[in-house]
Chains A and B, each alone.
Chain A
Amino acid sequence: MKGTIFALGALVLAATSGAASAQTMSYAQAGALIAKSCGPSIERFCATVNIGTGQMQQCLTQHQDQVPRQCFDDFTAVQTGIAKRVAAQADAGKACSASAQQFCSGVKPGDANILDCLLDSVKVVRPACKQTLVDAGWAN
């Protein structure tokens, strides 16, 4: 019970702190999560399947009686998280164009110069822009 209250408290704190939090995960976290939750099953049942072939989930499903539920859940979470991150990265130009024009008009584009400028101005950029940068994995 105490745990629940603590967790609730943390949630309220997070919700009220106003900080943008990422709804996505880094690609490194994604890879590590699959390794952690599915690695032992992959080595045992799918040792001839490469992760990049797109066949891994199918192979794991064929042994679903012996593969932990967590593996399937985390595999799905990884795909969702990556898709969101890819979308945020693709949207960043649009979401931040007004802020870029406002705060970074003198900056030469390329080599992440605009991003660096926006991060320097992160306290004033529009919230939608900031959230997109966070979700893209480019800001904290």
Chain B
Amino acid sequence: MTRFTRLVGGLALAAALAAPLATSASAQTADNNQQILQGLSSVTNDDPSLTVELLRKMAQDAVAQNQPLGLNKSAIAQKLDKLAQITVQIQFALNSSIIRPESYGTLGSIADAMHHPILWNYKFVVVGNTDATGTRAYNLKLSQERADAIVQALVTLFRVSPDRLQALGLGQEALQVPGKPDDPINRRVQIFNIGTMGPMGKAWMNPQ
């Protein structure tokens, strides 16, 4: 089923947003409210079968089976590519889920976007990614803890409803540049729009 949400234009913009030097579509980093808003809202094919639980299972299986890292994007990354998304750089303390103060403003920008009526009826997955240095299992665990820390900050300090947020650590299982698995460019936080909270129009300022 094709559902119209505001997702595809966001991909083009997300292209302008994700990490510098990457060759893929999502290649620069969003750092202000407007970029984040546009990145997370647009039209795309929404896939209701794509859930956080499914993605988590895929990542856990890849680690457990020690699936070889290919030169192409992983199946997980290919699934995620279809969603409206932004990539942000959040600085953490080394080998820790502690968010460094220099990134508090970026977290706030994400919150500004999520508190805007354009995105009010949507829910999101915060995905943590590492590069391929270190062990796969450790990377999976650390990235989950980092994604959890971001969601926690968005909820407690910046008052985004916890019902709208899920945290997912993918470790090194969705590398941005599979040909350079150890490149720090793969360390990144992505935020994906994964659908609506309720029927559109019930959200805000319904004049009826």
Q: Which residues of A contact B (CB under 8 A)?
A: 26-32, 34-35, 38-39, 42-43, 47-54, 82, 85-86, 89, 92-93, 96-97, 100-101, 104-105, 107-112, 114-115, 118, 137-138
Contact = CB atoms under 8 A, between A and B. Distances in A.
A110 B207 contact: no
B89 interface: no
A32 B149 CA distance: 18
24 contacts: A27-B108, A27-B112, A29-B108, A30-B157, A31-B105, A31-B107, A31-B109, A32-B105, A34-B104, A35-B105, A42-B101, A43-B101, A50-B98, A50-B99, A50-B149, A51-B99, A51-B104, A51-B157, A53-B156, A89-B115, A93-B204, A112-B116, A114-B206, A114-B207
A34 B101 contact: yes
B57 interface: no
Given A108-B201, A109-B201, A110-B200, A52 B112 contact: no
Q: Which 4 A-B pairs have the closest CB atoms?
A: A31-B108, A52-B153, A52-B152, A39-B101
Given A89-B115, A92-B204, A137-B115, A48 B104 contact: no
Nearest to A78: B157
A89 to B, nearest CB: 6
A138 B116 CA distance: 7
Contacts of B96: 48
Interface string B183-204: 0000000000000000011111
Interface residues of B, number: 47
Contacts, number: 140
B84 to A, nearest CB: 13
Nearest to A98: B207
B138 interface: no
B100 interface: yes
Nearest to A42: B101
Contact of B106 (A31, A48, A89): A31
A52 B98 contact: no
Interface in B87-140: 93, 96-109, 111-112, 115-118, 120-121
Given A26-B108, A39-B101, A137-B116, 14 more contacts: A28-B105, A28-B108, A31-B104, A31-B105, A31-B106, A31-B157, A48-B96, A82-B157, A85-B115, A93-B204, A97-B207, A107-B207, A114-B205, A114-B207
A39 B100 CA distance: 8
B80 interface: no
A30 B33 CA distance: 13
B112 A115 contact: no
A105 B207 contact: yes
B155 interface: yes
Contacts of B60: none
